[in-house]
């Protein structure tokens, strides 16, 4: 399954709830304000790093750039995708769940 998260992890429990329900092998794509969860050294970074082995984590590049987040500040193991990569992820997974 592919999960997309578009809310800031500091403002809403959306991201936490996604991680609580995602199953090993699932993919999580961070978009819009969700990309703030991808940054190193934050209050939620430990939680993200813990999931790295079990989940495939992605962040949408255009949303990172818009927010001034540099590639180098991402948590290790998170892959950056562009809009084409977003489409590929949706096509690769039978089911997508948008966590709003």
3-state secondary structure of 5: strand
Q: Is 32 in the site for another protein (CB under 8 A)?
A: yes
3-state secondary structure of 56: strand
Among 73, 77, 91, 98, binds another protein (CB under 8 A): 73
Rounded CA Rg of the chain: 12
Among 17, 40, 52, 77, binds another protein (CB under 8 A): 40
Answer yes or no: are the C-beta atoms of 96 and 2 closer than 8 Å: yes
Among 61, 78, 80, 86, binds another protein (CB under 8 A): 61
Nearest distance in Å: CB 10, another protein: 6
Q: Is 98 in the site for another protein (CB under 8 A)?
A: no
Q: Is 39 in the site for another protein (CB under 8 A)?
A: yes
Footprint on this chain of another protein (rule: CB under 8 A): 6-8, 10-11, 32-33, 36, 39-43, 45, 61-63, 65-68, 70, 73
């Amino acid at each position: 399954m592919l999960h997309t998260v578009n809310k800031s992890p500091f403002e809403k429990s959306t991201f936490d709830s996604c991680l609580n329900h995602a199953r090993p092998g699932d993919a999580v794509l961070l978009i819009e304000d969700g990309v703030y969860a991808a940054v190193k050294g934050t209050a939620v970074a430990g939680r993200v790093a813990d999931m790295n082995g079990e989940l495939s984590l992605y962040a949408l590049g255009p949303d990172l750039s818009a927010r001034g987040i540099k590639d180098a500040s991402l948590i290790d193991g998170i892959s950056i995708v562009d809009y084409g990569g977003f489409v590929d992820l949706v096509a690769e997974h039978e089911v997508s769940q948008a966590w709003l």
